Chains A and B, each alone.
Chain A
Amino acid sequence: MKIYGALLGFSVAAIAAIAGESGIFGRAINAQTHEPVRRAIIKIYTPKQQWDEFTDGEGRFRFPQLVRAEYTLIGHRDGYTDRAYKVELSDFDEGKELAIELRPQGLVTGKVVNGSGHPLQRARIEALDSRNSNGQIQAVSNAETNDVGEYRLSGLDPGTYRLRATYREGREDEFDPTPMTTATSYLGGKEKPAEIVVTSGSVNRGIDFVLNDVRPATVRGTLRTESGVVHERATLWIASQTGEGGHNGFGQDGRFAIGDVGPGTYTISAHTIDERTRQFGTTSVTVKDSDVDGIEILLQPGLKLEGQIRGLTEQQIENSKIGSVYFNRRPGLLNPMDFGSAKADADGTFAVSLEPGEYTISVDPRLGKLQSGTLDSKPIVNWKIKMEPGTAGKRLILVVQPEAQQ
């Protein structure tokens, strides 16, 4: 058996030989203490099939019926890092007990108090991974403080993390008149957060936070175009540059208000509702400890895209609900401003106004499956289209295979 990943190529030694056994069997152990790892799941799989077994009270597992072949084996247990091995033919021949060494994950512990030194209960501590491909920071593990303000943040694979603590108090339920206050703090400060190095089995103790909660602010302002006030309803989204604190707001008659905004610097995106004539605008705002008024967002027309869905009957097109065709600028993210939709008419034609950018296209699954598509007569690759400023209206043709014919 070989270990996948960085240690690929190291053969695992047989621990014990048990005569007369078929299939494979083994034992999961803690790579550091060599104690058995109980209740671990051992998964064996091929591209087509998979089998799972749990380790017993001695960390042992067994796949007695497994046909002699090559497989991938993964060991998994909470508190340990997943580990992959390659099962080789010789692992069957020799009747050996396979040793699955699982490395314990790291741990961070500490305390959260307020400015007066009182412990904060139910503060949330998150370990943040480095930014993903979309530039967003991801929380990989979280924990809450108990009534004495203590937390234990477990489940951390070896790596470098930033730590963030957040706290919210008040407005516990709809009848709670206590005003809401919030606080967020990064270990080492928001401008230059400290990085915590976690190694296998490491324990970082005494990582304490002091949080001073403040009442969140409301950001208010106006929406306008070059020609004047926007009367149409608008949707707004406020989020920090790294996507944190994202939540929405609404605008009407040229005015908007977004509540529950903690201190920080944010981008506010806005667009009008009608998908065909949608106008877009953004601005940035810095919130300290009080409401911010007088923010102005200038909306500008989006890039026009017209198109047609082909291959469907009128009745089939009516099956689509919110939209028939979806345009997603950054799939996987929650920011609704990166998402557009167009509802097709009975003859399959649609129109949409989009911001510049690269979009992934999909259709409502109720309609069927996208079969082919062209943008200005050129085939679409990987269902991606680019909308660039300065170009005239584009034409998108999508051929859909109805659900029933698939």
Chain B
Amino acid sequence: MRNILAALVSLAVAVAQPATPVRIQVINSLTKAPLAGASVTVDSAGLQNSAKITGRTGDNGVLEKNSPFFGSALITVRIHGFRMIGGGMMGKIAEIQNGKPSETTVEMLPLGVLAGRVLDQYGDPVRHAIVSTLQTGNDAEPYRSLFAATTDDLGEYRIADVEPGSYHLAVEYTSRDEHNYTRQSRYQWPEFGGLILFPDASDFSHAQQVKVGSGETVRLADGRLPIERSVTISGHLKPGKTDGAMISAQRAGPRINRHQPGAMSTHIAADGSFNIEVLPGEYTLKASDRSGKISPSLTVDARDKNITGVELALGPGYQISGRIVVDGPTRQDFSKVILNFMSEPVKIDSSGTFHTTAPDSKVRYIIQGLPEDWYVKDVRVLGRSIAGRNLELAPGESDVLFTLSPKGGRVEIFPERTDPGASEPAMCALLPEDGIVDVNSMLAAQRGADLSANFVFHSVPPGSYRVFLLDVSNFTWLFRPDVLLEKYRNLAPLIIVTEGEQKRTTVRLTKLPEE
């Protein structure tokens, strides 16, 4: 991604006169008090050009330096316990005029601290437990953990730099992580650990949310984390002899673990026997082998004691029998198309036929190497058209049909001319007005290295799109296009692209509100 940042930089950098003083004042946004020791970067926004001012604010909260450049600049300030406000996601855009002093005030929002203690079932402190905040995420990752801390020998933790708001907290410990903190014991010990939601719940309906305000340190009640030893799940895979088979155990419920994905996997012995050690919980077991055979999932409750005699049988797995066809009379050699289903690239013959094995019933496809202006017009799984790139396969063999069209649209976006020194667009995105909006359905283009003024999109499927033209302070919104569209749809003009259309349009820089 750093390359993207480097590539999208397009602000014209001009060498400044020897005396172009720049003064950055950094203050606490609530108290307006100056912040000393803040790390300030004033960037011509160019890694390629790398004209930059860096330094720390003094006791008066000010950094003063002569700028080696003038023009539009991105100011970034970092200091523990605060985050920038009044700018874009990346920083604040400011104008540096050649030979003229410039002064910018950057306001920093004080963040919160969540402090507390973790005790075990006996009331003893739990050392090296990880306490992390949980926020609602997306389908792939329902709960996102952004802020975390580790307990000390007294079980105490302080989660710092927490964005003001309400959170659930996950509290987890596994002895498996002890080697991260101390020298490993000479002996092998059984694994032990636990996972709860604050203060002592095993599910969200019983968990308590905690709230922290800006600049606030909240002392929480003790978290109660029962520490239990691991249990063993053992059994056999049918048929008895296996070739490179593996078994995986995925902890049931929301994936809230921070350092452990809640999944374990191990090899199955040649005679089909397996043995897997897990922390107490409900697990979904699944076996697979090198040929792509997969067992149906089996859920086991492994809480109080070892589970023995589990039997899994390998089934046919998820085979894909596929074809790629062209909509229309054009003939195409498909052997150069790169297609994969979250695994190795599929071998496609020149007529577009392929056969492969999917690692799971739910897979995402990626297709590359299409000729310019071609696009994927339709994807059908077992005769049914799908939206987006996610496929749901039936056990056994599934017919998958890709229909490509050589008639993708070509869209050229011309940024509306702005005043000299004003913020320049760095990246342009077309977000579908309807249907699934994610990084896969989004079309994005960056400014060319030759600083050409327009953004060009090839292979645009017919449809309606919102056009976002973002400057360097805001381009990271493109990592969350769904949220960008939901919040700022009305700030982006709508364009309609028909099949094979060559569209040219002028668009103004998208002015996102300051966050």
A-B complex is real = yes
Known A-B contacts A39-B227, A141-B182, A152-B153; A175 and B187 likewise in contact (beta carbons under 8 Å): no
B182 and chain A: residue at smallest CB distance = A155
Q: How far is the CA of A144 from the CA of B149 in the complex (A)?
A: 10
- Whether B76 lies near A178 (C-beta < 8 A) is yes
- The 8 Å CB contact of B160, one of A121, A142, A177, is A121
Instruction: Name the residue on B nearest A139 (C-beta).
Output: B183
A114 to B120, CA, bound (A): 36
Asked if A78 and B127 sit within 8 Å, CB to CB, the answer is: yes
The answer, among A79, A144, A175, A176, for a CB contact under 8 Å with B153, is A79
Contact present for B189 and A39 (CB under 8 Å): no
Q: Which residue of A lies closest to B127 (CB)?
A: A78
Least Cβ–Cβ distance between A136 and chain B, in angstroms: 14
Asked if A179 and B476 make an inter-chain contact with CB atoms under 8 angstroms apart, the answer reads no
State whether A52 and B190 are in contact (beta carbons under 8 Å apart), knowing that A154-B153, A175-B90, A177-B43 are contacts in the complex: yes
CB-contact partner of B1 in A116, A169, A175, A177, under 8 A: A175
Measured in the bound complex, the distance between the Cα atoms of B6 and A212 in whole Å is 30
Partner of A39, one of B91, B120, B178: B120
Contact status B190-A41, CB under 8 Å: yes
* Alpha-carbon distance between A118 and B35 when the two chains are bound, in angstroms: 11
Q: From residue A340, how far is it (CB to closest CB) to chain B in Å?
A: 28
Q: When chains A and B are docked, how far (Å) is the Cα of A78 from the Cα of B127?
A: 8
Q: Report the nearest A residue to B41, measured CB to CB.
A: A177
A140 at interface (Cβ–Cβ under 8 A)? yes
Q: Which of B39, B52, B121 has the most CB of A within 10 A?
A: B39
Residues of B within 8 A of A189 (CB): none
Closest CB in chain A relative to B306 CB, distance in Å: 13
User: Could you tell me the distance in whole angstroms from the C-beta of B54 to the nearest C-beta in chain A?
Assistant: 5
Contact of B39 among A52, A57, A178 (CB under 8 A): A178
B124 lies within 8 A of A114 (CB): no
A179 and B56 alpha carbons, distance in the complex (Å): 11
Give the contacting residue for B183; candidates A107, A118, A141, A177; CB below 8 A: A141
CB <8 Å contact, B189 and A52: yes
A121 and B122: CB pair below 8 A? no
Interface membership of A226, Cβ < 8 A: no
Mask for A147-183, Cβ within 8 A of B = 1, else 0?
A: 1100010110000000000000110101111110000
Among the listed B2, B74, B161, B185, which residue makes an inter-chain contact with A76, where contact means beta carbons less than 8 Å apart? Answer: B185
Q: How far is the CB of B332 from chain A (nearest CB, A)?
A: 36
Binary CB contact string for chain B from 176 to 187 against chain A (1 if under 8 A, 0 otherwise): 001001110111
Chain A residues lying within 8 Å of B152, measured Cβ to Cβ, are 143, 152, 154
Contacts of B227 in A (CB 8 A): 39
**Contact: A39 with B124, CB < 8 Å?**
yes
Asked whether B315 is an interface residue with its Cβ less than 8 Å from the other chain, the reply is no
Residues of B within 8 A of A57 (CB): 121-122
Of A76, A129, A146, the residue contacting B158 (CB under 8 A) is A146
B5 interface contact, C-beta 8 A: yes
B128/A78 in contact, CB under 8 A: yes
The answer for the CA separation of A116 and B58 in the assembled complex, in Å, is 10
Asked if B192 is an interface residue, CB under 8 A from chain A, the answer is yes
B-chain residues with CB within 8 Å of residue A121 when the two chains form the complex:
80-81, 160
Q: Roughly how many angstroms separate A74 CA and B121 CA in the complex, as a whole number?
A: 23
User: Once the chains bind, are A116 and B158 in contact (CB under 8 Å)?
Assistant: no
Least CB distance from A218 to B in Å reads 14
Q: Is B113 an interface residue (CB 8 A)?
A: yes
Q: Are B149 and A146 in contact (CB under 8 A)?
A: yes
Indicate whether A138 reaches chain B with its CB closer than 8 angstroms: yes
Asked if B295 is at the interface (CB within 8 A of a chain A CB), the reply is no
Q: Which residues of B contact A78 (CB under 8 A)?
A: 127-128, 175, 178, 182
A319 CA / B426 CA spacing, docked (Å) = 49
- Residue of B1, B150, B158, B183 touching A140 (CB-CB under 8 A): B183
Is B229's beta carbon under 8 Å from chain A?
yes
With A41-B189, A52-B189, A79-B127 already in contact, the answer to whether A179 and B41 are too (CB < 8 A) is: yes
Q: How far apart are B156's CB and chain A's nearest CB, in angstroms?
A: 8
Q: Judging by beta carbons under 8 Å apart, are B122 and A39 in contact? A: yes
Establish whether residues B190 and A154, one from each chain, have CB atoms under 8 Å apart when the complex forms: no
Report if A63 contacts B (CB, 8 A).
no
B189-A147 in contact (CB<8A): no
The contact of A147 among B37, B122, B160, B175, by CB within 8 Å, is B160
Query: Counting CB contacts under 8 A, is B33 at the interface?
Result: no
User: What is the minimal beta-carbon distance from B1 to any residue of chain A, in angstroms?
Assistant: 5
Indicate whether A154 sits within 8 Å of B183 (C-beta atoms), given known contacts A39-B120, A144-B150. Answer: no
How many Å from the CB of B143 to the closest CB on chain A? 21
Structural contact, B189 and A116, CB atoms closer than 8 A: no
Q: How far is the CA of A114 from the CA of B161 in the complex (A)?
A: 19
B192 partner, pick from A54, A177, A178, beta carbons under 8 A: A54
> Does chain A have a CB within 8 A of B85?
no
CB neighbours (8 Å) of B90 from chain A are 175
Contact B5 A175 (CB under 8 A): yes
Does any Cβ of B come within 8 Å of A82's Cβ?
Answer: yes
- Asked whether A107 lies within 8 Å of B5 as measured between CB atoms, the reply is no
Out of B37, B39, B183, which one reaches A170, CB within 8 Å?
B39
B36 within 8 A of A: yes
Cα distance, A136 to B43, chains bound together (Å): 41
Measured CB to CB, the closest approach of chain B to A179, in angstroms, equals 5
If A107-B153, A144-B150 touch, does A174 touch B1 (CB 8 Å cutoff)? yes
CA distance A135 to B430 in the complex (A): 59
Q: For the complex, is B78 an interface residue (Cβ under 8 Å from A)?
A: yes
- Does A369 count as interface, using CB distance less than 8 angstroms? no
Which residue of chain A lies nearest to B37 when distances are taken between CB atoms in the complex? A118
Question: Bound state CA distance, A170 and B189, in angstroms?
Answer: 38
Report the minimum CB–CB distance from B202 to chain A (whole Å): 20
A154 to B126, CA, bound (A): 13
Would you call A38 an interface residue if the criterion is a C-beta within 8 Å of the partner chain's C-beta atoms? yes
B37 near A114 with CB under 8 A, answer yes
Closest Cβ of chain B to A226, distance in Å, is 38
Q: Does A43 contact B (CB under 8 A)?
A: yes
B146 within 8 A of A: no
Kindly state whether residue B436 has any CB partner on chain A within 8 Å: no
User: Which residues does chain A contribute within 8 Å of B81, judged by CB atoms?
Assistant: 121, 147
Task: Check if A76 sits within 8 Å of B39, measured CB to CB.
Answer: no
Candidate in A107, A138, A146, A178 with the most chain B CB atoms within 10 angstroms = A146
CA of A54 to CA of B190 in the docked complex: distance in angstroms?
10
| CB closest residue in chain A, given B79 | A118
B60 nearest CB across to chain A (Å): 13
Known: A39-B122, A121-B80, A175-B5. A54 touches B229 (CB 8 A): yes
The 5 lowest CB-CB distance pairs between A and B, nearest first, are A147-B160, A154-B153, A155-B182, A152-B152, A140-B183
30 interchain pairs, CB-CB under 8 A? A41-B190, A54-B229, A76-B185, A76-B187, A76-B189, A78-B127, A82-B185, A82-B187, A107-B153, A138-B183, A140-B183, A142-B181, A142-B182, A143-B152, A143-B181, A146-B149, A147-B80, A147-B160, A152-B153, A155-B182, A170-B39, A172-B78, A174-B5, A175-B1, A175-B2, A177-B52, A178-B39, A178-B41, A178-B76, A179-B54
